[in-house]
Amino acid sequence: MLSLMLCRRLSLLVLLSLALVVAGPQAARAEKPAPPQIAGVVEVMNLAAEEGQISGGVTLVVKDGKTVHLAATGMADIAQDRPMTIDTQFAIASMTKPITATALMILVDQGKVQLTDPVSKYIPEFADAQGPDGKLAQPVTVQHLLTHTSGLGDSQQTETTLEATGKELAQRKLKFLPGSKWQYSPGLNACGRIIEVASGQPYDQFVSEQILQPLKMKHTAFVPKNKNKLAGLYEPGKEKGQLAAADHWLTRFTSGRAPNPSGGLISTAADLARFYQMILNGGELDGQRIVSEEAVKQMTTVQTGDLTTGFTPGNGWGLGWCVVREPQGVSAALAPGSYGHGGAFGTQGWVDPKNQTIYVLLIQRTNFGNSDGSDLRGAFQDAAHAALKN
């Protein structure tokens, strides 16, 4: 198991004082210095690639606003013999959700949307939404969508347009009464349609103009300009330690479906770090105010009360963000109040405001079990945290 082997290797690294390993003399003479690397994180990722758990990956750690680790491991495409690089793009799947939530909160800041608004204000078909026992006594609200407490379930795929997607979602019978339970849902797709109605712009255009462009996230988009810059998706092969090319609807970029607010973005580690740093700063970066400090506070604090939420223990849910209430297991390296989100292909992005640290793990694998609870996520965060303590 990865965790057992890592225990031995990381113990040795800690004894040797897990320092930040900066590029050697040859790289120093280059025009652009190589980014710093944390030895323990490099060890974790190399081992995962050697064991056939991943084809490769990119890891990034920011501490106090400075990049203290950025490294690429293994292959982006095995068949093409294309190595992973620090600017390789990844399908980030549900890591899209916090970006969609932030876009919606920009409209809340502008007074164009309120969290207490019934969804039917923007998607009229929701006025006829049906609960488990018939018509609802209380409507589904915008906040229900953002917290996964709406009762919506099933597929997160979009239709040809977000207008059509909203109508289709409204026809689904709710799994439970809004606000009574937590269940991961396609609610953020409905939020994408709300963004269109409230802003008067296509969802993807609004996200680009309000978030991606001002943050200079130049390598983040819903459709790749060059698929040769994308990491391939892999699943376990027939033999242990082998990988096979995999297919998923999120990576079919010519499917004719609308941009997916729940999981459609591709991005790089450096781009995502800029987004997370903006949130960590309370909504601004490099003098650009993206969203209000109050909106950030609402998004990144628990809004679901005592409901059991998430895919690992000890979590609550904010508005579009998972919030770590009681760190444990894979989240043990994070302080209480940390927030972030994972993706279906094992990608992870987490912000620890107490320690002013950002962790980004980008890999592309499917059918490996719970991606949020993976040994690799825990080993990456543990190794980085151990190095930063020394």
Query: What are the residue boundaries of the structural domains of the chain, listed by start?
Result: 39-105+198-389
Other C-beta atoms closer than 10 Å to the C-beta of 205 total 13
Position 31 scores a pLDDT of 61
Nearest to 348 by CA among 388, 321, 327, 367: 321
CATH architecture of 39-105+198-389: 3-Layer(aba) Sandwich (3.40)
The C-alpha atoms of residue 106 and residue 206 are separated, in whole angstroms, by: 10
Q: Residues 6 or more apart from 101 whose CB is under 8 A from it? A: 146, 188, 191, 299, 319, 320, 321
Strands (E), 311-389: 315-317, 322-324, 339-342, 348-352, 357-362
SS3 155: coil
Q: What is the pLDDT along the chain (390 residues), one digit of tens a residue?
A: 444 444 444 444 443 333 444 444 444 444 678 899 999 999 999 999 999 999 999 999 999 999 999 999 999 999 999 999 999 999 999 999 999 999 999 999 999 999 999 999 999 999 999 999 988 999 999 999 999 999 999 999 999 999 999 999 999 999 999 999 999 999 999 999 999 999 999 999 999 999 999 999 999 999 999 999 999 999 999 999 999 999 999 999 888 899 999 999 999 999 999 999 999 999 999 999 999 999 999 999 999 999 999 999 999 999 999 999 999 999 999 999 999 999 999 999 999 999 999 999 999 999 999 999 999 999 999 999 999 998
Helix (H, G, I), strand (E, B) or coil at 244: strand
DSSP code string of 30-97:
SSSPPPPEEHHHHHHHHHHHHTTS-SEEEEEEEETTEEEEEEEEEEEETTTTEEP-TT-BEE-GGGHH
How far apart CA 22 and CA 287 sit, in angstroms, is: 29
Q: Please report the pLDDT score of residue 255 as a whole number.
A: 80
| Cα–Cα distance for residue pair 364/56, rounded to 1 Å | 8
Please, where are the H alpha helices in 132-280? Answer: 142-147, 162-170, 187-199, 203-207, 269-280
- Please tell me the pTM assigned to this model: 0.92
Q: How many angstroms separate the CA atoms of 91 and 362, rounded?
A: 9
Q: H helices of the chain, where? A: 2-15, 25-28, 39-50, 96-109, 142-147, 162-170, 187-199, 203-207, 269-280, 293-299, 375-389
The residue type of 330 is: V
C-alpha gyration radius of the chain: 21
Q: How far apart are CA 278 and CA 116, in angstroms?
A: 26
Which pLDDT score is estimated for 13? 44
The end-to-end CA distance of the chain, in Å, is: 26
